[in-house]
């Protein structure tokens, strides 16, 4: 059974595609538009107050002999608590997402370092290729990385006596930076690691 195009919007936040079922001779289109329950689950995992809109569409195609390239457009409207006042802050996210799925390099057999041309480049768009590619997992990861680190309501600032309105032109004090990968790590633990299908 070969993989079919998923051009019609899919209401779930997951779309596992078995690499063995993908034809290397054509692009495999997909379109994820999670429904309200799926968005609510993802919002909870990412620590959002709400995920009002989420749309992820693109295609997956072979590149070279073993690699697969995913290119897609991600659009989302997220609501986060203001880091100062905890008031809801709405942000629109529109980004292009690219991932190159590549088989891991051969293991070092103890005969020395791998040849330079076989080393994996330090590129955050490159992912290890497993038996399954899930555009939904890519969508969740890309959204987690695109979230604002310091969502702030208009006029919110810190003062000695509590919350104050920041005067025009003044630089507000930055709160302690949160780990931007905490939500991403939670997603990976939920998925049980890369390469597993569902």
Q: Indicate the SS3 state at residue 41.
A: helix
Model confidence at 111, pLDDT cuts 50, 70, 90, reads: low
In the predicted model, is pLDDT for residue 54 greater than 80? yes
Residue scoring higher pLDDT (90 or 125): 90
pTM beyond 0.75: the answer is no
Model confidence at 8, pLDDT cuts 50, 70, 90, reads: confident
pLDDT above 70 as % of the chain: 67
What pLDDT, on the 0 to 100 scale, is given for residue 9? Answer: 84
Q: Indicate the SS3 state at residue 148.
A: coil
Q: Which of 39-48, 70-79, 84-93, 116-125 has the lowest mean pLDDT?
A: 116-125
Q: Which of 10-14, 34-38, 174-178 has the lowest mean pLDDT?
A: 174-178
Close Cβ partners of 70 (under 8 Å, ≥ 6 residues apart): 58, 59, 60, 97, 98, 99, 100, 101, 133, 135, 138
**H-type alpha helices, the chain:** 36-46, 135-146, 182-191
CA proximity to 99, closest of 65, 59, 132: 59
Write the DSSP string, 163-185: EEEPPTT--PPPPPPP-TTHHHH
Residue scoring higher pLDDT (3 or 198): 3
Inter-residue contact 12 to 32 (CB < 8 Å): yes
């Amino acid at each position: 059974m070969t993989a079919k195009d998923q051009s019609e919007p899919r209401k779930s936040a997951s779309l596992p595609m078995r690499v063995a079922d993908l034809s290397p001779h054509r692009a495999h289109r997909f379109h994820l538009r999670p429904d309200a329950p799926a968005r609510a689950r993802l919002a909870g995992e990412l620590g959002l107050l709400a995920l009002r809109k989420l749309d992820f569409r693109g295609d997956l195609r072979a590149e070279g002999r073993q690699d697969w390239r995913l290119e897609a457009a991600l659009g989302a409207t997220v609501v986060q608590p203001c880091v100062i006042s905890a008031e809801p802050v709405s942000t629109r996210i529109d980004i292009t997402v690219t991932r190159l799925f590549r088989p891991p390099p051969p293991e070092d057999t103890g005969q020395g370092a791998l040849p330079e041309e076989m080393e994996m480049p330090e590129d955050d768009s490159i992912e290890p290729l497993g038996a399954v590619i899930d555009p939904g997992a890519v969508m969740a990861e890309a959204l987690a990385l695109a979230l604002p680190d310091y969502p702030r309501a208009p006029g919110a600032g810190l003062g000695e006596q509590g919350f104050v309105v920041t005067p025009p032109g003044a630089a507000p004090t930055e709160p302690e930076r949160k780990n931007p990968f905490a939500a991403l790590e939670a997603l990976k633990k939920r998925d049980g690691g890369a390469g597993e299908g569902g």
